Chain A
Amino acid sequence: MRFNLILVFICLVLSSCSSSINEPITHFQVQTPRPFGYVIGDEIKQRIIIETRDGMALQYSSIPGKGEMTRWLNLNKIKIDKSKTGKGLRYQIDLTYQLFYAPLEVKMLEIPRFTLQFRQFGNSIEKTVPRWNFTTAPLRELAIRKQEGKEYMRADTSIPLLDTQPSINRLGLSLLMACLFGAYLAWLYGVLTFLPKYQIFKRPARQLAKSSQGDLSSMLDIMHKALNNLNGKPLFKHQLNSFYQRFPNYQQLNGELVWFFNYSNQHYFSTDSRSNKAENDKIIALCQHCLQIERGKR
């Protein structure tokens, strides 16, 4: 009697061990949401959890591909997580469907079944994910009832608009900053020629072009006044170096400016004063060169 009991116990233990070791899929679960209350455009999420023995490889090709599954059902998203468990592998498959069925009345629909395939040592094992039924309803009743001339359908509530004020403020600020930077760059590159800073040699250049060649004193006066105006105080030949420190762009005209001051000194302060067309033209050219510099063209 005692021997028989021990034998039965051993058989039971062996049978339980053999089933847990040999079973390729140890756990299979399909988690679905509520099966009712869906309308067109809703998303339905389905989670499949599978635990297998070690080495069982899920064939990803057996999972439905993204895209149109039926005329009214799309598979939008597939997410597969694979992890190790103590006994084997765990697969978690998240599928997100989207419904495009527009029923006229409450209607039952189904997500079709599909078969998952696993492979190990050249052997293939299949597991079917069962179809899942759910009901869908129309957004509104299609038949419009009229009672005493009143519309059964009511106007939709107005859609609350998104608050765009912060975006408009940011846009305005950005535009303002862009304008300021643009203005600064324009000022830096001498594009704003209407500013007084860029008008110093404009009028003198015009006056010199019109002045008669014989009137050397007035030509020199015009040019001296323009240079004094630029310098902010009277400019003399011996101050040219400090002038170039303040207005380095004019350094390139050093030769012409030195000539101009020598010519002016000779005319105004020496008894040996002469005027000829070629030299008068040099004054006009100097003024033009100064104009080009103040316009940033030189």
Chain B
Amino acid sequence: MNKQLSDWRNLALQFEQQINHTVLGQQQAVRHCVISVFARGHVLLEGNVGVGKTTLLRAIAQGLGGDYQRIEGTIDLMPADLIYYTYLDNKGKPQVDPGPLLKQGESLATFFFNEINRARPQVHSLLLRVMAERSISAFNQEYQFPHIQVFADRNRIEREETFELPAAARDRFMMEINIDTPADDSLLKELIFNARFHDVDSLISGIETGNIAYYQLNELAQQIQQSIQPSAMLKNYALDLWKASRNPKQYGIKLSDVEMEQLIQSGASPRGMSFLIRAAKVNAWLENRETLLPEDLQAVFQVTMAHRIFLNPIYSYRQEQLMPELISSILERIAAP
């Protein structure tokens, strides 16, 4: 590994350590977020309310520098609300100001869409373009967001008056990361009683800014992807994982009380697999390796694949139980070599 990448790796680990110091008991979620930052992928967060999703994102935004914008998804939110807002100024004249997306211009680095499933599909489609092309058209011109990374959140408790993300929208997200309440009692006591965690603003301000500049991430991500090349054996392994996610029965995968040939409606897309490899390469880089190993793919398989595999409607009500079983069965079934 060249010295520049090695230096960046040290900074990335420091960055991860600082976030872990800010958000307790979420090491795995933090590791996945850090991977997504250096793989330049968008992230869908899922978890209960108040478990630290926003704090985690603010910590990431603070560490990376750049501008941070946040919008709450509501049922009456329209695409235009992301681009501009109108008001009467103090002279009574109508004014049009840039909305959350346009306000920071090219320096917008982290965009947090809270409760995305409460927004209408029209809003989703605008966001899809931002995520896919990192640009939008407004006021007869193109606006570029070269450094933007979208984090969207949906809470798993309330399902009423929500619009489930369409498959195309979910596929644009590199990862779906679950944020759970820590299980360790000592961590829970720390979160409850330590005053440091009561004031989120001061907690976030403790994170150093600028060690990793947001505007350098695209170039760094490119270097990481180029420096780590998969072997033929690993390509076969990734291909087997993909095929198994589309046709698990062919690979001898069985789940209890499931007709395996009817389980999958649609497997992971090629874009999803490219996301998997990108994330796996970043994992290898963080582990200080130039070799991409099966364990790198396994480390990110759940978060990059689970939201891209669509179950048959007759099994979708058991999705939360079946999907983790399916993912772990795939990983336990496919050997390399």
Contacts and interface: CB of A to CB of B under 8 A. Distances in A.
B is a partner of A: yes
A37 interface: no
A67 to B, nearest CB: 83
A269 B295 contact: no
A85 interface: no
A237 interface: yes
Given A233-B332, A236-B298, A269 B337 contact: no
Interface stretch (A184-192, A220-228, A250-258): A220-228
A234 B336 contact: yes
B191 interface: no
Interface SS of A by simple majority? helix
Judged by DSSP, the binding face of B is loop
B293 A224 contact: no
Contacts of B298: 236
Interface residues of B, number: 17
**Interface residues on chain A, size class:** 10 to 19
Nearest to B229: A271
Interface in A234-275: 234, 236-238, 264-266, 268-271
B130 to A, nearest CB: 36
Nearest to B328: A233
B293 A234 contact: no
Interface string B221-246: 00000000111011000000000000
A181 B190 CA distance: 53
A82 B334 CA distance: 91
Contacts of B337: 220-221, 224, 264, 268
B256 to A, nearest CB: 17
A246 to B, nearest CB: 13
Nearest to A239: B295
17 contacts: A221-B337, A224-B335, A225-B335, A233-B332, A233-B333, A236-B298, A264-B337, A265-B293, A268-B231, A268-B234, A268-B337, A269-B230, A269-B234, A269-B292, A270-B291, A271-B229, A271-B231
A-B pairs, top 5 by smallest CB distance, nearest first, are A234-B335, A268-B233, A233-B332, A270-B291, A269-B231
Interface of A: 220-221, 224-225, 228, 233-234, 236-238, 264-266, 268-271
